[in-house]
Structure formats: C-alpha cells, structure tokens
Structure 1
C-alpha cells in the first residue's frame, strides 16, 4: 500500500485557492490600458492555503 509522504495542502474555503484577483475599475487610462486593482483574500492573506494552528501539549485553554 502506498502512503503519501506529505499531507495535501489545505485550500482556503473562502477563495478556493484563487487568492488574488485583478478587478477592472471600468474605463481606460490615457494610454488605452484597463485600470485594474489587485484584491487579495482576507482569510488567507493571498496565499490560497489555510494555516493550521498547532496547540502545544499541556497548554491551558
């Protein structure tokens, strides 16, 4: 039986792994380029993965 060497990464449930997007603001600038802004997922901070918190053994709640 084969086993995975590393666990699969946990994909962010809010952005489904697509953490950064370019959003058009409408219209074009003087040179004819689309005006865009980059928006990042607030949950994963633009990484696309969810970080897991490790709880120390014997830690109090």
Structure 2
C-alpha cells in the first residue's frame, strides 16, 4: 500500500480554526456600507492551524 493520507492539520487552540473576524466599527461610510476591520488570531496569524509540536527528546 503506497497511498498515504496526510495527517490532519492541527487546529489552533486559541481561535479553534476561526482565524479571522470582521468587526464593525459603528456608523457607515459615504456609500452607506458598514465600516469594518479584520482581526487575525495572534497565535496562528490568520491561518487557523499551527504546526505540529515536536515531542521532548525527539531528534530532528
């Protein structure tokens, strides 16, 4: 059997995979649209996943 499935990505424990959020600032701009900003998770930097941790004592 040569087919290997890749391991599932590790979901960020800080944001549970929801890495970006649109936050309304209140009010509307000249076109009538809500003013929003995008906030990214500080741990995973907006990807929703984190690299696998290396076990203690493991060699690279």
Asked if these proteins are the same fold (TM beyond 0.5), I'd say yes
Q: Deviations over 1:9-53 (max 9, x none)?
A: 100011111101110001101110100000000000000001135
Give TM-score, length-normalised by structure 1: 0.76
- The answer to whether residue 7 in structure 2 is matched with residue 7 in structure 1 is yes
Question: Secondary structure of 2:22's partner?
Answer: strand
| Runs of 5+ consecutive residues of structure 2 not aligned to the other structure | none
4+ long deviations beyond 3 Å: 53-56
Question: Secondary structure of 2:11's partner?
Answer: coil
CA distance in 2, matches of 1:57, 1:6: 21
| Runs of 5+ consecutive residues of structure 1 not aligned to the other structure | none
